């Protein structure tokens, strides 16, 4: 037995906590979780769908659409190429933003650590990982997550230039500024704030400031090709008065300023302002302030890119309505760093408790940046009764493309027809869109109309084309927001065109089958509907059952459906008026491709063995479907 006392071994947890990069790795895992959770399930919203539409026609058309709508191309180029690698699921499309958001968290950490200490870096990265703005845009098919990454990189490289302006650092800053310009133009406000600090406050030799000017000139040269291409479209927008604000813009009023601050500080304006005030006090006002000029200089740049940029936005907003949730987003990296710098001045226990509570609060608080409509539920409603070849008409204005994405994700690919009617997407004007719609309607026997958020007019157009509405369903929009009080529901209607056969079939003495509307093709395992158009010649004395059977080539029954709907029994059918009796089927996956007959029978439940005869037979083949 050894005489030496056995030393206690450190626990695994204690060992892990000594790993230098573990804290930021944990923060990055949290950032990933915050952005991935829900990304695969949250429905696509209108602006996301616009981005997808903008990249749908190839490079040349994409550049034309972007130039006409004052959007720079960096993110859109990636979005155009990305589906070929990852697919077009919600998660795949949103991964470009998820990855950019995680990289931005890492850059925010590195910036805070380099200039204000590790505690500041971790605190800044943590709040940026969970705050509402970065998370929301970090899981959207939008270019704002790329803007946040570009802003984080620009601020990081700028502070490195202030510390030591080597040519390599200036080149990196030049590239970051160009990245900002190619992401979203409004991010250049923060770049202007950096230029003000670099040229006016930075204590450096004149030659260093000249080099900084050369970096800006280089960024402008990199951006010049797109600027030349996009400038005419931007000028046309300005002349037309299109760049005058947003539908949900925030005014520069006392309440509006408070809302802006609340958005940028994760819903905790008082706490956030307190931390920023603490950082200002410790670096500029305290008698014991740090003598490190570089740290004070770096914090001044952070203030310029956060508080200074916000002040500039608020003033500009008095003339042009540019402030909204999305346009505020570019300041979030700088605000996170300001909060981290303030938290670093607290004792460790107080800092950990405060930042921990702020993190938990942000995680548990629901997000309310841009409302997401229940476009996915609308698509599910259509899919439940959709047959291949049905025409789906979207009448939802700018939200047409969001509904279109959800429809195409749920409806079968076979003969799928989805028609957005917001003409600004694909038509030169409204008459051109209506002409294209009329051509689609003319070739359809059944149609769906998904309506929301615009004055309704297409119901009348379908009715004038001979369609009759058979069903109407309303689902809630799904958001509690004043913008949607006028149209709180999405209306989904189903239509059939009545074109009676030349020789309608008579079942019994009083019931005539005018028409059977069937799909031409049904995919294997797919769903379909058959509409039987009946007319009672005299009042029906019994509640007859209408049975429809799917028969294989050998005459065996493979599927069956019974009608009419319990809410509309046969004894209540009006006389000499067409009644639509819908039968829905879903093919079992094992059903082989081929032709299947549709066989209709009408009977009363107490005399099921003696159905109403048609042409002397117990039933009649009323159509067929092709499964392929």
Q: pLDDT tens digits, residue range 75-105? A: 999 999 999 999 999 999 999 999 999 999 9
Distance in angstroms (rounded) separating the CA atoms of residues 602 and 570: 11
Query: Residue 238: which pLDDT band, with cuts at 50, 70 and 90?
Result: low
CA distances (Å), origin 231, targets 69, 228, 315? 10, 6, 24
pTM above 0.75, yes or no: yes
Instruction: Give DSSP secondary structure letters for 390-458.
Output: -EEEEE-GGGHHHHHHHHHHHS-STT-EEEE--TTTT-SSHHHHHHHHHHHHHT-SEEEEEE-SS---H
Mean pLDDT score, 475-489 = 79
Residue 39 · residue 134 · CB < 8 Å: no
Other CB atoms within 10 A of residue 361 CB: 14
Residue 264 · residue 339 · CB < 8 Å: no
pLDDT surpassing 50 at residue 2: no
CA distances (Å), origin 340, targets 187, 279, 281, 302? 21, 9, 14, 11
Distance in angstroms (rounded) separating the CA atoms of residues 63 and 71: 9
**In the block, which residue shows the tokens 């039933």?**
619
Residue 150 · residue 175 · CB < 8 Å: no
Distance in angstroms (rounded) separating the CA atoms of residues 156 and 152: 6
Prior bond to 174 cis, omega within 30?
Answer: no
Query: Residue 14: which pLDDT band, with cuts at 50, 70 and 90?
Result: low
Distance in angstroms (rounded) separating the CA atoms of residues 243 and 70: 9
Other CB atoms within 10 A of residue 180 CB: 29
SS3 category, 514:
strand
**Confidence at residue 216, expressed as pLDDT on a 0 to 100 scale:** 98
Give tens-digit pLDDT for 320-370. 888 988 899 999 999 999 999 999 989 999 999 999 999 999 998 876 677
**Confidence at residue 91, expressed as pLDDT on a 0 to 100 scale:** 95
Mean pLDDT score, 61-86 = 91
Instruction: Please give the biggest Cα pair distance in the chain.
Output: 111
pLDDT surpassing 80 at residue 459: yes
Residue 581 · residue 529 · CB < 8 Å: no
What percent of the chain has a predicted confidence (pLDDT) above 70?
A: 93
Query: Residue 289: which pLDDT band, with cuts at 50, 70 and 90?
Result: low
Query: Residue 1: which pLDDT band, with cuts at 50, 70 and 90?
Result: very low
**Confidence at residue 6, expressed as pLDDT on a 0 to 100 scale:** 47
Using a 10 angstrom Cβ sphere, with 0-12 exposed, 13-18 middle and 19 or more buried, the burial of residue 270 is exposed
Distance in angstroms (rounded) separating the CA atoms of residues 251 and 264: 16
Plot region of 38 (φ>0 → left; ψ -120 to 50 → alpha; else → beta) = left
Crossing angle between the packed helical segments 293-303 and 188-200, to the nearest 10 degrees: 150
What percent of the chain has a predicted confidence (pLDDT) above 90?
A: 75
Give tens-digit pLDDT for 535-563. 999 999 999 999 999 999 999 999 999 99
Q: What is the dihedral of CA 351, 357, 363, 364, to 10 degrees?
A: -170
Mean pLDDT score, 460-475 = 94
Between 27-31, 222-226, 564-568, the lowest mean confidence (pLDDT) is in: 564-568
Query: Residue 372: which pLDDT band, with cuts at 50, 70 and 90?
Result: confident
Distance in angstroms (rounded) separating the CA atoms of residues 611 and 372: 51
Give tens-digit pLDDT for 606-623. 988 899 999 999 999 999
Alpha carbon 470 to chain centroid, angstroms? 31
Give tens-digit pLDDT for 110-153. 999 999 999 999 999 999 999 999 999 999 999 999 999 999 99
Give tens-digit pLDDT for 577-596. 999 999 999 999 999 999 99
Alpha carbon 326 to chain centroid, angstroms? 13
**Confidence at residue 187, expressed as pLDDT on a 0 to 100 scale:** 96
Query: Residue 229: which pLDDT band, with cuts at 50, 70 and 90?
Result: confident
Other CB atoms within 10 A of residue 280 CB: 18
Query: Residue 7: which pLDDT band, with cuts at 50, 70 and 90?
Result: very low
Query: Residue 286: which pLDDT band, with cuts at 50, 70 and 90?
Result: low
**Within 13 A of 507's CA, how many CA atoms are on the CB side?**
29
């Amino acid at each position: 037995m050894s005489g030496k006392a056995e030393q206690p071994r450190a626990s695994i947890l204690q060992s892990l906590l000594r790993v230098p990069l573990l804290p930021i790795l944990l923060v990055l895992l949290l950032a990933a979780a915050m952005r991935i959770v829900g990304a695969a399930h949250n429905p696509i919203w209108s602006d996301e769908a616009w981005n997808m539409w903008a990249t749908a026609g190839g490079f040349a058309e994409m550049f034309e659409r972007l130039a006409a709508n004052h959007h720079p191309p960096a993110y859109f180029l990636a979005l155009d190429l990305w589906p070929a690698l990852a697919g077009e699921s919600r998660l795949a499309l949103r991964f470009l933003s998820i990855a950019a958001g995680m990289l931005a968290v890492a850059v925010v950490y590195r910036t805070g650590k380099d200039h204000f200490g590790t505690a500041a870096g971790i605190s800044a990265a943590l709040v940026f990982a969970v705050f509402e703005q970065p998370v929301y845009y970090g899981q959207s098919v939008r270019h704002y997550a790329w803007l946040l990454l570009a802003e984080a990189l620009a601020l990081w490289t700028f502070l490195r230039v202030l510390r030591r302006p080597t040519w390599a650092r200036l080149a990196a800053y030049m590239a970051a500024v160009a990245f900002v310009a190619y992401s979203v133009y409004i991010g250049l406000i923060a770049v202007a704030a950096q230029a003000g600090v670099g040229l006016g406050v930075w204590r450096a030799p004149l030659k260093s400031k000249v080099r900084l000017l050369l970096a800006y000139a280089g960024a402008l040269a990199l951006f010049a090709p797109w600027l030349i291409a996009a400038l005419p479209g931007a000028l046309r927008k300005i002349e037309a008065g299109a760049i005058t604000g947003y539908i949900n813009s925030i005014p520069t009023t006392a309440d509006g300023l408070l809302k802006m601050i609340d958005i940028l500080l994760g819903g905790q304006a008082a706490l956030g302002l307190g931390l920023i005030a603490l950082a200002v006090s410790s670096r500029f006002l305290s008698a014991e302030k740090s003598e490190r000029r570089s740290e004070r200089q770096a914090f001044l740049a952070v203030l310029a890119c956060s508080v200074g940029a916000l002040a500039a936005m608020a003033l500009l907003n008095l003339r042009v309505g540019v402030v909204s949730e999305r346009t505020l987003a570019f300041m979030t990296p700088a605000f996170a760093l300001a909060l981290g710098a303030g938290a670093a001045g607290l004792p460790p226990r107080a800092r950990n408790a405060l930042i921990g509570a702020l993190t938990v609060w942000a995680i548990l608080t629901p997000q309310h940046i841009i409302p997401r409509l229940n476009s996915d539920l609308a698509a599910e409603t259509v899919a439940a009764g959709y047959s291949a070849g049905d025409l789906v008409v979207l009448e939802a204005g700018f939200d047409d493309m969001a509904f279109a994405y959800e429809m195409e994700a749920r409806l079968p690919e076979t003969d799928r027809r989805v028609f957005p009617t917001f003409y600004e997407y694909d038509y030169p004007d409204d008459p051109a869109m209506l002409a294209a719609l009329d051509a689609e309607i003319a070739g359809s026997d059944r149609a769906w109309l998904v309506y929301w958020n615009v004055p309704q007019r297409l119901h009348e157009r379908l009715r004038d084309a001979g369609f009759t509405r058979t069903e109407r369903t309303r689902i809630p929009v799904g958001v509690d927001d004043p913008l949607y009080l006028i149209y709180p529901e999405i209306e989904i209607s189903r239509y059939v065109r009545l074109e009676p056969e030349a020789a309608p079939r008579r079942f019994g003495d009083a019931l005539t089958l005018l028409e059977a509307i069937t799909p031409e093709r049904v995919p294997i395992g797919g769903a379909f509907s058959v509409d039987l158009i009946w007319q009672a010649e005299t009042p029906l004395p019994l509640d007859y059952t209408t049975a429809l059977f799917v028969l294989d080539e050998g005459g065996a029954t493979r599927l069956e459906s019974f009608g009419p709907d319990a809410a509309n029994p046969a004894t209540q059918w009006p006389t000499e008026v067409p009644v639509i009796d819908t039968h829905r089927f879903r093919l079992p996956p094992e059903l082989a491709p081929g032709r299947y007959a549709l066989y209709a029978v009408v009977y009363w439940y107490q005399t099921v063995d003696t159905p109403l005869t048609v042409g002397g037979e117990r039933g009649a083949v009323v159509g067929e479907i092709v499964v392929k």
